[in-house]
A and B are shown apart, each in its own frame.
Chain A
Amino acid sequence: MEEENNLLDAKKQNILENSKKSILANKISVKKNDKFYALLFLGPSLLLLILFIFYPMLKTIYLSLFLTNGNGQNTVFVGLENYVSLLTSSTYLASLGSTFVYVIGVSVLTIFLGLLLASTASKNVRGSVFFRTIFSSTMGVSISVSAIFWLFIFNPSIGILNQVAAFFHLPILNWSTDPNLAMISVIISTVWMNLGFAFLVLFSAFESLPLSLYEETAIEGVGPVYRFMHVTIPLISPTLFFVSIITLIESFKSFGLIDLMTAGGPNNATNMLVYQIYQNAFLNGNYSQASAESVILTIIIAILTFIQFKYLEKKVSY
């Protein structure tokens, strides 16, 4: 009897231990599974990021510390020599200056016009739906098409702009040869390109403004300018902040329009940082210098974005 009992007890013990083990094993396998699935889901984007962002970034920094030959192979390690020569080169500094002029001109104009169009289109007047479509349509135009389109407009001899000017006996301007005018023409074209996106985002902010706040201001007798500055702008400030950062970064990076319209000319007037990187790397074969320029551009954009977040965000009310 006793033996039997003992045997039963032992069996029970055995079963208990086994089940404990299997529970433990289960836990471990769940953890292993979690990691596996995490990697599985992160994998594709991680792979793409490493391949197209992190590796080129590190490679660029690495290249910028060497001299390279025409095939892009490193020859001599020169430390920060590339950076020093860039920051003392008058061409580069001039390019830095024109980039800032361009970026500020494009950002300010895009946001100002975007606000103007969005606030106009958000009014419920006849035909506003039609204009909403028109205003946002530049988002669907490719850069090369719009570059050619603007070239036709600005062309000194056959361009529409000068023909209209001639018709009204206004002075005929040399848009492609005068450095200042070339800059203005590039800014105008870029603003036109960017406006669709800025308009669309700002318009959606205008559409979501609460009606009752505006009814309140009507009853309180608030004037339209005061209302715009003290009610509308604070209400759309998160969107405004977003658009301003995107526009700023995008205009720092703009390349296509410049390449097609002016190719950096005349006399380097529109030779922006990105365009110079392209010239150095792919026309002059000076990869190390181009790499150093890329690193500097990245730092500039990072600093500006940081400043925007730090100072502008304080004024944004969510």
Chain B
Amino acid sequence: MSIEFKNITKTYDQAPVLENINAEIENGEFFAVVGPSGCGKSTLLRMLAGLIDITDGIIKINGKQINGLAAKDRNLTMVFQDYALFPFLNVEDNIAFGLKARKMPEEEIKKRVAHALEMVDLSDYKERKPRDLSGGQRQRVALARAIASDAKICLMDEPLSNLDAQLRVKMRSEIRDLQQKLGLTLIYVTHDQIEAMTMADHIMVLNDKHVQQIDTPLGIYNQPANEFVANFFGSPKINILSGNYQSNNHEITIDKYLKIKVNKKLDKNDYVVGIRPNQMDFETIDNLKEGNASVKNVSNLGSQTIVSALLDNGQTVRIVKENQLSIAPGERIKATSRGDAFVFDPEKRNLAAISVGV
């Protein structure tokens, strides 16, 4: 089942919440919609589901326009953030609810429910009420209900945000496996960039009513369309610094040691530079008068060390090193760039140039 959004616009009382959204989703694709809260990602999902009206534009499923179609006739299923389980029904009846309402034959319902329960490994819990299940199990009941409906398009609205961190990691791979096994076209809404990066085939980044970028996870990471996307993806966060462009040597200078080379000629003086923390480096300096920054904070994560430092010109940088370091706040360092960096236009904030190595 392929899906197409064409110039989708949604307004509430004349105030637009989404403007000119265009996207194409292929059959069997895991498509993540990512953005900060309030960016309209859930609204987009609900328009596709048929739960709210489309103000303007066209949505197609398999090439067929579905704008006026009722939710039930769109042949899709949805998993909600709060799981939307009926508290008064046990697991089995929760999964069978929609099938019963559609008056499916008893035999078929039984078969589907059993199959779905097996898929999510909950066969032993079918008599339980939702309140007697853990968060992860409830989540799986919701997944089982989606499986039982046999729809080939599945929409998920932040399905993992109510789970604890460890369970979230586990469910990520389970959902991905399920999607592959059933050949689902899955639209997955999340505010968590790691979820999107690890699960999706393609990611749509939404912010401020507009699509910022649609690309593969690596495409988004390696070539962010603008400062927002660069800022949103990657952990720890990218360093956004201001620098001056020198046309004679195609260099952008942030301070006396922190410089990057750009791959093309630019026409402005001031630019915004994005350098990922792992593309920064530093060495410790004994003399307090030298170097270009003082260490503010050190986080040792075991496999890596995150150092945050204050440059002498007042900007803060985060630097990641892939080893354990003994360095303390207050120490002087010389912070430098390893080479890879993004250059953004100071006004429009979109990507102006890329720097690859010095």
**Is the C-beta of A317 less than 8 angstroms from some C-beta in chain B?**
yes
Residues of chain B within 8 A (CB-CB) of A4 are none
Residues of chain B within 8 A (CB-CB) of A210 are 82, 84
Contact check, A220 vs B101: say whether CB atoms are below 8 A apart.
yes
Distance (whole angstroms) from the CB of B41 to the closest CB of chain A:
16
Residues of chain B within 8 A (CB-CB) of A237 are 88
Q: Convert A220-248 into 0s and 1s, putting 1 for each residue whose CB lies closer than 8 angstroms to a CB of B.
A: 11110010001100110100000000000
Q: Convert A22-63 into 0s and 1s, putting 1 for each residue whose CB lies closer than 8 angstroms to a CB of B.
A: 000000000000000000000000000000000000000000
Nearest opposing residue in chain B for A227, CB measure:
B101
Residues of chain A within 8 A (CB-CB) of B71 are 218-219, 221
Distance (whole angstroms) from the CB of B319 to the closest CB of chain A:
43
The number of chain B residues touching the other chain, given as a range, is 20 to 34
The residue from A212, A215, A226, A317 contacting B101, defined by CB atoms under 8 A apart: A226
Contact check, B98 vs A220: say whether CB atoms are below 8 A apart.
yes
Nearest opposing residue in chain B for A234, CB measure:
B88
Residues of chain B within 8 A (CB-CB) of A317 are 87-88
**Is the C-beta of A213 less than 8 angstroms from some C-beta in chain B?**
yes
Contact check, A223 vs B86: say whether CB atoms are below 8 A apart.
no
Residues of chain A within 8 A (CB-CB) of B77 are 219
Contact check, A215 vs B72: say whether CB atoms are below 8 A apart.
no
**Is the C-beta of A3 less than 8 angstroms from some C-beta in chain B?**
no
Chain B stretch 153-175: residues in CB contact (< 8 A) with chain A: none
The residue from A215, A218, A234 contacting B86, defined by CB atoms under 8 A apart: A234
The number of chain A residues touching the other chain, given as a range, is 10 to 19
**Is the C-beta of A216 less than 8 angstroms from some C-beta in chain B?**
yes
- If A212-B81, A215-B49, A215-B78 touch, does A220 touch B102 (CB 8 Å cutoff)? yes
Alpha-carbon distance between A234 and B88 when the two chains are bound, in angstroms: 7
Contact check, A235 vs B101: say whether CB atoms are below 8 A apart.
no
> A-side binding surface: helix, strand, loop or mixed?
helix
Residues of chain B within 8 A (CB-CB) of A212 are 80-84
- If A212-B84, A317-B88 touch, does A218 touch B51 (CB 8 Å cutoff)? yes
**Is the C-beta of B149 less than 8 angstroms from some C-beta in chain A?**
yes
Nearest opposing residue in chain B for A233, CB measure:
B88
Contact check, A215 vs B88: say whether CB atoms are below 8 A apart.
no
Distance (whole angstroms) from the CB of B217 to the closest CB of chain A:
28
**Is the C-beta of B205 less than 8 angstroms from some C-beta in chain A?**
no
Nearest opposing residue in chain A for B73, CB measure:
A221
Contact check, B102 vs A221: say whether CB atoms are below 8 A apart.
yes
Residues of chain A within 8 A (CB-CB) of B87 are 235, 317
**Is the C-beta of B97 less than 8 angstroms from some C-beta in chain A?**
yes
Chain B stretch 63-106: residues in CB contact (< 8 A) with chain A: 70-73, 76-78, 80-84, 86-88, 97-98, 101-102
**Is the C-beta of B274 less than 8 angstroms from some C-beta in chain A?**
no
Distance (whole angstroms) from the CB of A204 to the closest CB of chain B:
18
Contact check, B72 vs A221: say whether CB atoms are below 8 A apart.
yes
Alpha-carbon distance between A212 and B159 when the two chains are bound, in angstroms: 12
Residues of chain A within 8 A (CB-CB) of B98 are 216-217, 219-222
**Is the C-beta of B50 less than 8 angstroms from some C-beta in chain A?**
yes
Contact check, B149 vs A220: say whether CB atoms are below 8 A apart.
yes
Residues of chain B within 8 A (CB-CB) of A230 are 97, 101
Alpha-carbon distance between A220 and B95 when the two chains are bound, in angstroms: 11
Residues of chain A within 8 A (CB-CB) of B76 are 219
- If A212-B82, A215-B80, A220-B97 touch, does A235 touch B88 (CB 8 Å cutoff)? yes
Alpha-carbon distance between A119 and B16 when the two chains are bound, in angstroms: 30
Residues of chain A within 8 A (CB-CB) of B149 are 220
Alpha-carbon distance between A237 and B82 when the two chains are bound, in angstroms: 21
Alpha-carbon distance between A138 and B81 when the two chains are bound, in angstroms: 40
Contact check, A215 vs B97: say whether CB atoms are below 8 A apart.
no
Alpha-carbon distance between A206 and B68 when the two chains are bound, in angstroms: 28
Q: Convert B298-311 into 0s and 1s, putting 1 for each residue whose CB lies closer than 8 angstroms to a CB of A.
A: 00000000000000
Alpha-carbon distance between A210 and B88 when the two chains are bound, in angstroms: 13
Nearest opposing residue in chain A for B88, CB measure:
A317
Distance (whole angstroms) from the CB of A202 to the closest CB of chain B:
18
Alpha-carbon distance between A230 and B99 when the two chains are bound, in angstroms: 13
Distance (whole angstroms) from the CB of B51 to the closest CB of chain A:
5
Contact check, A219 vs B78: say whether CB atoms are below 8 A apart.
yes
Alpha-carbon distance between A226 and B73 when the two chains are bound, in angstroms: 18
Nearest opposing residue in chain B for A222, CB measure:
B101
Distance (whole angstroms) from the CB of B66 to the closest CB of chain A:
13
Chain B stretch 42-63: residues in CB contact (< 8 A) with chain A: 46, 49-51
Alpha-carbon distance between A226 and B81 when the two chains are bound, in angstroms: 24
Residues of chain B within 8 A (CB-CB) of A213 are 84, 86
Alpha-carbon distance between A241 and B149 when the two chains are bound, in angstroms: 34
Q: Convert A305-318 into 0s and 1s, putting 1 for each residue whose CB lies closer than 8 angstroms to a CB of B.
A: 00000000000010
Alpha-carbon distance between A184 and B72 when the two chains are bound, in angstroms: 45
- If A212-B80, A212-B81, A226-B101 touch, does A219 touch B86 (CB 8 Å cutoff)? no
Contact check, B84 vs A216: say whether CB atoms are below 8 A apart.
yes
Alpha-carbon distance between A222 and B101 when the two chains are bound, in angstroms: 6
Contact check, B82 vs A215: say whether CB atoms are below 8 A apart.
no
Alpha-carbon distance between A174 and B177 when the two chains are bound, in angstroms: 75
Residues of chain A within 8 A (CB-CB) of B83 are 212
Residues of chain A within 8 A (CB-CB) of B73 are 221
Distance (whole angstroms) from the CB of A56 to the closest CB of chain B:
42
The residue from A216, A221, A223 contacting B78, defined by CB atoms under 8 A apart: A216
- If A213-B86, A234-B88 touch, does A219 touch B72 (CB 8 Å cutoff)? yes
- The winner among A215, A219, A230 for most chain B CB atoms within 10 A is A219
Q: Apart from A212-B80, A216-B84, A219-B78, what are 13 other A-B pairs with CB-CB below 8 Å? A: A215-B84, A217-B98, A217-B101, A219-B50, A219-B71, A219-B77, A220-B102, A220-B149, A221-B70, A221-B71, A221-B102, A230-B101, A317-B87
Residue positions of A touching B, CB distance < 8 A: 210, 212-213, 215-223, 226, 230-231, 234-235, 237, 317
Closest 7 pairs (CB-CB, A-B): A221-B72, A220-B98, A317-B88, A212-B84, A222-B101, A212-B80, A216-B84
Residue positions of B touching A, CB distance < 8 A: 46, 49-51, 70-73, 76-78, 80-84, 86-88, 97-98, 101-102, 149
Can you list 9 A-B pairs, Cβ within 8 angstroms, ordered by A? A215-B78, A215-B84, A216-B78, A218-B50, A218-B70, A219-B71, A219-B98, A220-B101, A234-B86
